[in-house]
Each structure stands twice: as structure tokens, then as C-alpha cells.
Amino acid sequence: MDRKGIVADFLQRCIDYSEASISRKEKRGDIEEIESWKTYQEFTKHALMEIHTGKLDSWFENDKPTELKQPKRIDVLDLEHRERATWLSGILSPRPLVLVSTKNSEGLGNLAPLTSAMAVSTKPPLMIASLSQGKNGRQRDTLNNLRDTKKAILHMMPSTLESVDWVDNAGSPIPPNESEWDLTGLEADENEPMLVKQAVAAIEVEYLEEVKLPDAVAKLVVLKVTHIWTSLDQAPLSGLDILCQHGLDRLTPSPENWGKTIDKHYG
């Protein structure tokens, strides 16, 4: 990707737009804003000049390694928890962000963000997900609800900043007698109260079993896919434009696009 060329093209378009705006305002006699537009244009021209002269080349250098040159071997057991999570999340990414909806035996709805869900079998259609505990040692409501009602819906969310806020709020630690639906402002489908209307697509699953992970507090749950919720007539061969996690706590539609960090799940 020619990042320098893309920025230079954008700045030139800004200059052209400002020139046209100044011309229109002069013709209409709107002289009050002309000086501000001229100042903006001069700053933009200066930035473009610095790009063309190479003064800002260091801004566009890619310091990400493209191959293993003089690799070092890191013992992950020697790392602190957050550093270990940062390494693993940075390497094993991007991963789709799934917003899971469940309900308890009394019908109270729960929403939770999840990045460990993945398909592991097509025949039969199976998925797995890792569900850990909260910092207080309490088991996640998602797992408790799956044990009770056996049903969940996994939502793929749109790649928008508003969607990031929905997900961030859904990750807030709240008492089990409260619902994340009230925090997010998301709407439920009229015919299926567990289905998020704002989602791009969704996968309905049935809880089959759980496996205790060695030396871990997290449980690995096995889920059977029962239904797909979609507005499409055909399967999306090229995938969907959905929210992903790239790196630690950073949600983005793609690694080279915008990104926003979420932190409410830390409490």
C-alpha cells in the first residue's frame, strides 16, 4: 500500500476543494469565512510540500517485520499475564468480534463480547468458544446461561465506531440481576428477543458440552450450529464487513483501517 501517495492525494483534494469553496464564496459575496479557508489552504499546501520533499518520510516507514530475521525465542511462561495476552492477541489476529446473547432461566437477557468463537466442524456444524471467569472469580453469566437454557445467538456486528461503543458497553461488569441490553441501547428483534437488530448477521447455537482446559480457569464450550440469521439471499463468498479485534482490545474492520480501543471489560 502506497500510504504516502494516498495521503498526498487526499491533501491535494483538500486544496482543490478549498480553492473551489473560496471561489464560490467570493462570487456570492460571503467574505467572512474566506480568510479562514485561505489559512486552511496554506497549512494544507505546506503539509503537502513537506511530503513531496521527503521531510515526512519517516512517518510512512513500515517498521513491522515481514520475515523472521534474527528471531528471538520468548518463553511465554516468563511473561506477566497482560504482556502474554498482548503478544498472543497481536500475533493471532485479526479475529471476528462476536456479540453473544443469552438469557437465564428466568428470562433475563445477557450480552457479552467474545473473540474466541470459531468454527471447528462443518459436518456436524460445530463451534467452540472459551469462557473465562471475572476478576472476582465469578463465572461468566454467558456460561451459566448456556448451562441453564442451552441456547445462544452469536452476532457479527457492523464495522462502525457506534458498534464499538455497543460492544464496549456490553463488556461492562454488572451484577447478574442486571442486563447489558439496558447499557447498550441495542434493539431486540420483535419475533426473537435474543436477536440483535443492528447485527450484520447472526449464528444461533445450542450448548452441547464443556471441557475443562488444563491449568486454566476458562472453560471450552462446544456449540452446535442450528440456524443462521441473515438478510442475504446467497452465502457471502467474500465474507462480510464486520467488526474484528486486531491486537489487544483494539476493534477495527481491518488491520490497516481505523481502530478504537475498548476497556470497560476491565471494570
Structural domain boundaries of the chain? 3-60, 80-266
- Rounded Cα distance, 169 and 248, in Å: 17
Q: What is the pLDDT of residue 135?
A: 66
Specify whether the CB–CB gap between 240 and 97 falls below 8 A.
Answer: no
- Rounded Cα distance, 186 and 163, in Å: 10
- b/e map of 153-190 (b: 16 or more CB within 10 Å)? bbbbbbbeeebbbbbbbbbeebeeeebbbebbebeeee
- Rounded Cα distance, 234 and 15, in Å: 43
Run of H or E including 5:
helix 3-28
Listed residue (21, 66, 24, 70) closest to 41, CA to CA: 21
- Rounded Cα distance, 229 and 204, in Å: 7
Characterise 29 by phi-psi region: left (phi > 0), alpha (psi -120 to 50), beta (else): left
Q: What is the pLDDT of residue 94?
A: 82
- Rounded Cα distance, 160 and 141, in Å: 26
pTM: 0.70
- Rounded Cα distance, 11 and 16, in Å: 9
Q: What is the pLDDT of residue 3?
A: 75
Specify whether the CB–CB gap between 77 and 89 falls below 8 A.
Answer: no
Q: What is the pLDDT of residue 1?
A: 47
Q: Which CATH superfamily is domain 80-266 in?
A: Electron Transport, Fmn-binding Protein; Chain A (2.30.110.10)
The model's pLDDT over 101-124, given as tens digits with 9 standing for 90+, comes to 999 999 999 999 999 999 999 899
Listed residue (190, 261, 174) closest to 182, CA to CA: 174
Q: In the chain, helix, strand, coil percent, each to 5?
A: 35, 25, 40
pLDDT-flagged residues of the chain (< 50): 1
